[in-house]
């Protein structure tokens, strides 16, 4: 395994923030190799395994952790890298940045609309990962064949009768029990009445800040209580959305699930505690 890491510097860290808090917060960006934390000067260097994860972390400049506004910078310009292979589960770094931002909001972290707009702009610049598009299309086809028969997709059925789309999706799910059997957020979402909105959110770059807030509410509605525990990076348990869990420390501090933001409204700081990463069973 390569020993090369890709770092960002974080300053303005709150006095009560621990290394575990930082690990939780930045693990949404991708796999963390290590954290060099200096609590005395309230700063840290977060070392990621992939440059695209470091680039995602930079979009969080101005985000709030434990009531403090973070400054996230880097001495170098990190580049996105498309994976050379398409097998295996998708990674955090394959996800659209707007989707990652929605995960943060869904767990009660405070991100300003400027941060959300930055995530949207990064998606516009990068486009959507080919691996991620392939993953979503594969789910759409697999679910369609299970519910409707060979060579059918959920999205195709919806397009056949747009007016009745929500009722059709609900009926399919009730009859087949697709969402109850699904192993990750995307599978359940595509088989739901709002599946096409979810698919459009994750496969197109034409998003607005309110779309990110809306997706955050959808993610939150699918989550169990915050006391269900955190996941380990090697388990493959779906976290928030997708099939790969962000790398979290088993000892990461958590508290009860915070309120979910309304459209255009930020969640207030959580009183010095950090919500654990979202887990979808």
Q: What is the pLDDT of residues 129-187, one digit of tens each?
A: 998 998 888 776 665 555 444 544 545 554 444 445 445 555 555 555 544 444 578 87
Statement: residue 52 has pLDDT above 80 = yes
Least trusted range by pLDDT, from 115-129, 168-182, 246-260: 246-260
Residue-range definition of the domain harbouring residue 24: 1-88+225-281
**Of the candidate ranges 24-28, 188-192, 255-259, the one whose mean pLDDT is the lowest:** 255-259
CATH number at residue 15: 3.30.70.330
Burial of 135 (0-12, 13-18, 19+ CB in 10 A): buried
pTM above 0.85, yes or no: no
Contact between 244 and 92 under an 8 Å Cβ cutoff? The reply is yes
Q: What is the pLDDT of residues 9-28, one digit of tens each?
A: 999 999 999 999 999 999 99
Classify residue 197: in a domain, yes or no.
no
Distance (Å, rounded) from C-alpha 130 to C-alpha 110? 29
- What is the share, in percent, of the chain residues with pLDDT greater than 70? 60
**106 falls within a domain:** no
Query: Residue 46: beta bridge partners?
Result: 8, 35
Is the model's pLDDT at 98 over the cut of 70?
Answer: yes
What integer pLDDT is reported at residue 222 of this predicted model? 81
Identify the pLDDT of residue 83: 63
* 231 found inside a domain: yes
* Dist. CA 178–CA 263, nearest whole Å: 29
Is residue 22, in this structure, part of any structural domain at all?
Answer: yes
Q: Is residue 215 a part of any domain in this protein? A: no
> In total, how many domains does the chain have?
1
- Decide if 20 is inside a domain: yes
pLDDT of residue 179: 44
Does the residue 48 lie in any domain? yes
Most confident of 28-37, 137-146, 186-195: 28-37
């Amino acid at each position: 395994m390569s020993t090369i890491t890709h770092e960002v510097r974080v300053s303005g860290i709150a006095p009560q923030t621990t290394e575990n808090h930082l690990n939780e917060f930045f693990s949404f960006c991708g796999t963390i190799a290590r954290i060099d934390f200096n609590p005395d000067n309230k700063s840290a260097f977060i070392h990621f395994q992939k440059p695209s994860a470091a680039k995602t972390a930079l979009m969080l400049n101005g985000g709030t952790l434990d009531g403090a506004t973070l400054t996230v910078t880097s001495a170098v310009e990190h580049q996105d890298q498309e994976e050379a292979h398409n097998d295996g589960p998708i990674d955090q770094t394959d996800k659209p940045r707007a989707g990652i931002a929605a995960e943060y909001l869904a767990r009660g972290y405070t991100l300003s609309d400027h941060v959300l707009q930055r995530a949207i702009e990064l998606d516009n610049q990068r486009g959507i990962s080919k691996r991620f598009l392939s993953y979503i299309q594969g789910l759409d086809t697999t679910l369609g064949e299970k519910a409707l028969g060979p060579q059918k997709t959920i999205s195709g059925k919806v397009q056949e009768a747009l007016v009745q789309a929500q009722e059709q999706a609900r009926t399919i799910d009730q009859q087949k029990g697709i969402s109850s059997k699904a192993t990750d957020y995307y599978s359940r979402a595509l088989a739901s009445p709002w599946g096409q909105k979810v698919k459009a959110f994750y496969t197109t770059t034409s998003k607005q800040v309110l779309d990110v807030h809306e997706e955050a509410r959808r993610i939150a509605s699918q989550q169990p209580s915050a006391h269900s525990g955190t996941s380990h990076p090697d388990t493959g348990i779906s976290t928030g959305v997708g099939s790969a869990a962000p790398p979290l420390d088993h000892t990461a501090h958590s508290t009860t699930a915070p309120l979910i933001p309304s459209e255009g409204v930020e969640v207030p700081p959580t009183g010095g505690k950090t919500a654990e990463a979202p887990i979808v069973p």
